[in-house]
Chains A and B, each alone.
Chain A
Amino acid sequence: MRTFVATCLVLAAGLAAFTWATDGFRVATAEGARRLAVAEHPVTVPDVKLEDMDGRVLQLSQYQGRPLLVDFIYTTCPTVCQDLGQSFGEILEVQRKQGRENDIALLSISFDLENDTPELMRHFAEHHGADGKVWTIARPTNAADLQALLATFGVKVLPDPLVGFQHNVAIHLVDSQGRLARIVDPTTDAALAVLDQEVDRL
């Protein structure tokens, strides 16, 4: 009898702990957890200074008032960042076709402050069709701002001896009030879906 009671108590506590650890059986990975967290509680992004591909300095808060899609890249990345660039190119194309390219903005932020000069960012921009108006490539102006951005967006950048870096890849939606509101898979369709939702909401 005592064993039965003890077993039931342990199972109840174990189930409660597991439910808590998976946000109610919804996430098993840190990546899933950060996506769920911002979808439920949008986070205000820090208003940092960025230097863009033409060497101009801009404030992140400038984008407030329209939905903004953000991705994190380094321009010498051989693989996923180029895919991200292609997705952003396709998203821009779709927005132009729908005639609403002025209602939204795209921003690719480089985390490779050491190597990604405006020249390299411009090269990346030309390759993928970033026009510098709707879609801008930019980098934070100092390491502290970069860390603040990465922490808020939940992006982890690890040095990789072979290709430079590995980082969790996603497309981030910053809503018109400057809050990180959604994080989705880095595909054109997933990004368009949350962008449409956000535009419709306004």
Chain B
Amino acid sequence: MLRRVNAPIVAGVALWIVLALPFVRVGLEARLVTHVLVQLLGLAAAGYLIGIGLRPHLARAMDRWNQYGAAGLALVISTGAIWMLPRAIDASLDSGLVASAKFVSLPLLLGVPLALSWPRFGTILRGFLKANFLSMTIFFGWLYIAAPVRLCNSYLIDDQTLLGTAFLLITAALSILWSVPLFFVPSQPNERRTMAASKDSAEDGTYELRPIH
């Protein structure tokens, strides 16, 4: 039971409602770049906020069903893969059913499971996902700029180029945001251990791993 007001859930639901308002929807869907980067990402963010609010309430169920965030990751990747298809973007404009699916699946099947699973991912998995996300956005950016044909029948080719440029800018921004902090973190213990081992092997020709105290 929620005893007090759960701020992330309230914020998430509010964002969800705002994005679903008819005039907001029409305005964002008028251009490809706002459709993808504001509406689709906004819907996922709304779900992410709700997921943050749900974390304490679902901790036990997540321990059982979503250890290390594996099931959640599978759900996030599946949902994301479908909404990356240009065909899905077009269909969400032409079919009310697909539009409803968009407004339900992005928050509930992408945002919420990502928020519930992210804290459960190990460091290596997080790094792997970030690196893959960057290679994906740079690929999409390049594809949308270079494609000689329109990938969405509902949008002008200039819109597609603009989205591509936006993807490249996002890649650049995230690369900086995610990599710069790494230069300011002290060396990891296992890194020092490896350095010590290589020093030993240089001295007496044997390789032995010694923990440092």
Q: Does A156 contact B (CB under 8 A)?
A: yes
Q: Does A21 contact B (CB under 8 A)?
A: yes
Tally inter-chain residue pairs, CB-CB below 8 A: 76
A89 to chain B, nearest CB (A): 22
Q: Does A158 contact B (CB under 8 A)?
A: yes
Question: Which of B64, B91, B153: most chain A Cβ within 10 A?
Answer: B153
- Provided the pairs A3-B65, A3-B68, A33-B87 are in contact, do residues A14 and B151 lie with their beta carbons within 8 angstroms? no
Interface string of A29-67 (1 = CB under 8 A from B): 111110000000000000000000000000000000000
Structural contact, B78 and A15, CB atoms closer than 8 A: yes
Structural contact, A166 and B150, CB atoms closer than 8 A: yes
**Considering only CB atoms and an 8 Å cut-off, how many residues of chain A contact the other chain?**
26
**Considering only CB atoms and an 8 Å cut-off, how many residues of chain B contact the other chain?**
29
- Find residues 46-76 in chain B having any chain A CB closer than 8 Å to their own CB: 64-68, 70-71, 74-75
Q: Does B28 contact A (CB under 8 A)?
A: no
Which residues of B have CB within 8 Å of A3?
64-68, 70-71
- Provided the pairs A30-B90, A33-B87 are in contact, do residues A168 and B150 lie with their beta carbons within 8 angstroms? yes
- Provided the pairs A7-B70, A21-B82, A158-B154 are in contact, do residues A29 and B75 lie with their beta carbons within 8 angstroms? no
Q: Does B17 contact A (CB under 8 A)?
A: no
A167 to chain B, nearest CB (A): 9
In Å, the complex CA distance between A77 and B146 comes to 23
Structural contact, B71 and A28, CB atoms closer than 8 A: no
B44 to chain A, nearest CB (A): 16
Q: Does B26 contact A (CB under 8 A)?
A: no
Structural contact, A30 and B74, CB atoms closer than 8 A: no
Chain A interface residues toward B at CB < 8 A: 2-4, 6-7, 10-11, 13-15, 17-18, 21-22, 27-33, 156, 158, 160, 166, 168
